[in-house]
Amino acid sequence: MIEQGFVYSGNPARVVFGFGTTAALPEEMARLGTRRALILTTPAQEDAGQKLADLLGETAVGVFPGAVMHTPVDVSDLAADRARQIKADVVVAIGGGSTTGLGKAIALRTGLPQIVLPTTYAGSEMTPILGETSGGQKRTQTTAKVLPQVVIYDVEHTMGLPVALSGASGINAIAHAVEALYAREANPVISLMAAEGIGALARGLPAIAQDPANRKARADALYGAWLCGICLGSVGMALHHKLCHTLGGSFDLPHAETHTLILPHALAYNAPAAPEAMARLRTVLGADPALALFDLGRAVGAPASLAALGMPADGIARAVDLALSNPYWNPRPLERDALTALIQRAHAGAPPLAA
């Protein structure tokens, strides 16, 4: 029963989901009316970009294998210049959040449409959010200008994703949906997607850890990541994402692994102020959702602590200062001592504890 009114805004995107769906790329380019694709990858995935170029033939006019973590502004500017030089009329990004972020940055600068082929569970392809790093700080903005027009989910691209990266990337996706449940703009439609997405990932990720070739588990995880990405793209962010943006941009920590470590602690912090969200989370994660997420990280082989990621202990105070400056809306007020304790526990690899 709906007791209160709500606002739901659906972001436009065409989704092609399944096994072997990469073959649809030429058709999707034609559907957009485009004929000159700039293909984006990270340096490690350049071969995947070249395979797309081979598939597209003469409609592929360049491969830019320079996407890197946290989307540095100078890389974005360089890639946008490349797109202009070769007169690209569409950007095709294949990879995880770093590559998707670069595609968004190019779209913001040039107005080009985007087609994204995710190879991880990052979910960024479903959001109108762009985060770019400059001068040691990551700044985010939300604009429909960076929304991809087409997303091709091909489960085959995730079959070789290493177990540890699969787990961290998947828990990163779960974080999108967890915060959507208690976001200021939360609504019942997004909450349904959030629970479905979290449940699919909570099923799929441990099965992938046991058998990386489990096709059903891989499909569950990618499906869950899609839904969780929709959640992030439809409502606002809160403490968890603020902390992860702060830590990633300021200490150059890996994106998905940082989300994996912070999520249980941020959820425990907000639990007292979000009873409805916690009740829904218990239906898919069990009696103690924060501890369940902490245990899930261990089960999938994710790093155990911020210290293991390379964050110095003397950076905790700076991280708290940054989190308190220009904070995101949060259901529980931000308290310096409690935030310090939260980051200290994540730094040490201790289990979450409600403050």
Q: What is the pLDDT along the chain (355 residues), one digit of tens a residue?
A: 566 788 877 787 899 999 999 999 999 999 999 999 999 999 999 999 999 999 999 999 999 999 998 899 999 999 999 999 999 999 999 999 899 999 999 999 999 999 999 999 988 899 888 989 988 788 889 899 999 999 999 999 999 999 988 999 999 999 999 999 999 999 999 999 999 999 999 999 999 999 999 999 999 999 999 999 999 888 888 999 999 989 988 898 988 899 999 999 999 999 999 999 999 999 999 999 999 999 999 999 999 899 999 999 999 999 999 999 988 899 999 999 999 999 999 999 999 986 5
Q: 170 with 140, same domain?
A: no
Yes or no: say if 142 and 173 are a contact pair by the CB < 8 Å rule: no
Residue 1 included in any domain: no
What range defines the domain where residue 303 resides?
163-348
pTM: 0.89
Burial of residue 139 (number of CB atoms within 10 Å: 0-12, 13-18, 19+): middle
Tell me 128's DSSP state. Answer: S
Q: How far apart are CA 176 and CA 198, in angstroms?
A: 9
Closest CA to 152 of 280, 16, 50, 253: 16
Q: 175 with 259, same domain?
A: yes
Q: 75 with 184, same domain?
A: no
Indicate the residue among 139, 158, 177 that finishes a domain: 158
Q: Based on the structure, what is the number of domains in the chain? A: 2
Q: 131 with 190, same domain?
A: no
Closest CA to 127 of 111, 103, 109, 110: 103
Residue carrying structure tokens 């943006």: 245
The CATH number that applies at residue 231 is 1.20.1090.10
DSSP string, 180-202: HHTSTT--HHHHHHHHHHHHHHH
pLDDT of residue 244: 93
Q: Using alpha carbons only, what angle is made at residue 297 by residues 278 and 325, rounded to the nearest 5 degrees?
A: 65
Q: 196 with 344, same domain?
A: yes
Residues 6+ apart with CB under 8 A from 314: none
Q: How far apart are CA 176 and CA 165, in angstroms?
A: 17
Residue 354 included in any domain: no
Specify which residues 137 forms β-bridges with. 134
